[in-house]
Structure 1
Amino acid sequence: MPQPFAQSRYQVRFEWGTEGLDRLAPADIVVVIDVLMFSTAMTDAAARGIAVGFDDDAVTGSANGAPVAARAAESDALVLIGCLRNASAVAEAVLVEQRRRGERTSISLIAAGERDPAGVRFAIEDLLAAGAIGDALSLRGVDHTSPEAALAIEAFRGLRGALRHLLTAGGTGQRLIAKNERGRVVSATTLDDLDVVPVRMDDGFRALGAGTADV
């Protein structure tokens, strides 16, 4: 009998944190989404041609996205880093990998959320970014989505015009703004201004340009 929370019958899946990743059936690609700030910092570094090692502050300082990426790397999945700024680039990278494999490729979109003593807390920014990536996949014909992924996609479609307001007004954004990091929060709200995708390698993360088949 299939596990009810594994979403195994669907090509595009959605869950939260390492616990959610463990609940899902194994996927060919895992996209780690931690918009404020792990995924956005990784994508910005990749756009500037900077490889990020596992001992760098952007990784060691991440209590949310980095553990998800590390857990995903324990499998045979291709681990990509996604955010709002590279949502379409992530979708393109998925298509390239699917063509390389020559078969339908399963994708798990994992929103890191915010970890606290009670577990993983819902994060507006990660839900919307997962929806943006799912929407970009759907526009490219990868649209066999689980109900969970479909919900994230529809949330993004309905609210895409309010990304800046939602991310700056949400709990994570307010916490960072209180630490004088409003500029970083506002920058993370921009949709599709970067065309690179960080990919996890044995020594850390490096840029995978959209449309690049070398993975």
Structure 2
Amino acid sequence: MNLEHRQLEYGLRFDWGRAGAEAIATGVDLAIVVDVLSFTTTLSVAADAGIEVFPYSWYDESAADYARDVDAVLAVRRSVASEGQISLSPKSIRDSERPRRLVLPSPNGSTIAFALAAIVPVCVGASLRNASAVADWVVHEHGSRSRVVIVASGEKWPGGELRPAVEDLWGAGAVIEALIEAGWNGSVSPESRMAADAWAAVSDSIEDRLRDCASGRELIVLGFPHDVAIASELDDSDTVPVLEDRVFRAQRTGRRLNKLRAHR
């Protein structure tokens, strides 16, 4: 990989997937993972409920072993979840008895967060639900010149190759715009500016755009329209899931959410 691909000269960097995350994570203060449909949206709903979330790469026997080791409930596959079981569906958390601890596997956002935990000082989960809260927290806790990487998780093609997912581009752009509005004033990579421009183009119609994009249509066809609706709850959450010792714990800002509610 060429050195230029690492965006090292910029304080705010953006790339896709696990390989992109690992490429741009050198020398940063924190990483922000975005997986709108659905890992980081579900993570934000869990954080709102006070649930500690352990990311994990995929559903297999090792996931069950891991859940036992950390004394947590293991989320099941969304396609086989029955009533009362928690899965990658954010609605399942709202509809179920809330555990104290949850192992939440996914092949994209969760896998990337799990990998980043070993190479960056701090990893945060962001979605459209908490984009402004995350931005406020970053500036307040790490400063206006902190070095930040934002990773759009994307999806996988059947062969395992990265499929860029437009909803994650929008989510990353929402965080980037919110960071700048919150007072972050470091150097911004062209890749990051592109994501912010993509968000600006759809921010006034995000509910419709999420329903119409490929990932949104897929979830609706599979019977999960409420998951798409929850993902479009723009800035409804003031919780910031921060990955510490392999577990996401909620930090709360309150400032941005209260400001938004005051104008509704």
Query: Which residue of 179, 183, 188 maps to 2:226?
Result: 183
Mapping 1:19-168, distance limit 5 Å: 19-26=19-26, 27-54=28-55, 55=67, 56-57=74-75, 58=88, 59-99=103-143, 104-116=145-157, 117-143=159-185, 144-168=187-211
Tell me the distance in 1 between the aligned counterparts of 2:200 and 2:125. Answer: 21
1:24 Cα deviation from its structure 2 partner = 1.1
Query: Higher Cα Rg: structure 1 or 2?
Result: 2
Question: How many residues get paired?
Answer: 208
Moved over 2 A (4+): 53-56, 58-61
Q: Which moved more, 1:83-92 or 1:49-58?
A: 49-58
For residues 36 and 175 of structure 2, the distance between their equivalents in structure 1, rounded to whole angstroms, comes to 12
Q: Give, as a single letter, the amino acid of the residue that structure 2 aligns with 1:187.
A: I
Q: Structure 2: how far apart are the matches of 1:35 and 1:147?
A: 22
The answer to which of 193-202 and 54-63 deviates more is 54-63
- Partner SS, residue 6 of structure 2: coil
Deviation (angstroms), 1:211? 6.8
Contact in 1 for aligned 2:239/2:252 (Cα 8 Å): yes
Judge conservation of contact 1:92–1:211 (CA < 8 Å) in 2.
Answer: no
Identity percentage over the alignment? 36
Separation of aligned partners in 1, 2:251 and 2:238: 9
Q: Which amino acid letter does the alignment assign opposite residue 105 of structure 1?
A: S
Name the structure 1 match of 2:16.
16
Asked if 1:5 is matched to 2:5, the reply is: yes
Question: Residues 32-59 of structure 1: CA distance to partner in whole angstroms, max 9, x if unpaired?
Answer: 1001110000000101111123433245
Q: Which amino acid aligns with 2:118?
A: E
In structure 2, C-alpha distance between the alignment counterparts of 1:175 and 1:158, rounded to whole Å:
23
Q: CA deviation at 1:179?
A: 1.2
- Over residues 96-147 of structure 1, what are the superposed CA-to-partner deviations in whole Å (9 max), with x where a residue is unaligned? 2224xxx831110001000222511111110001000000011123242100
Distance 1:118 1:66 in 2: 16
**Contact 1:7–1:25 (CA under 8 A) maintained in structure 2:** no
Q: Separation in 2 of the partners of 1:108 and 1:20? A: 10
Q: Please give the alpha-carbon distance, in whole angstroms, between the structure 2 residues aligned to 1:45 and 1:111.
A: 20
**For 1:142, what is the secondary structure of its paired residue?**
coil
Q: Distance between the aligned counterparts of 2:227 and 2:238, measured in 1?
A: 19
1:210 equivalenced with 2:211 (yes/no): no
RMSD: 1.8
1:20-78 per-position Cα deviation (integer Å, ceiling 9, x unaligned): 01221422110010011100000001011111234332454411101110111011320
Q: Residues 96 and 211 of structure 1 are in contact (CA less than 8 Å); yes or no, is this contact kept in structure 2?
A: no
Question: Displacement of 1:3 after TM fit?
Answer: 1.0
Structure 2 unmatched runs, 5+: 56-66, 68-73, 76-87, 89-102, 256-264
Query: Secondary structure of the equivalent of 1:174?
Result: helix
Shift of 1:170: 0.8
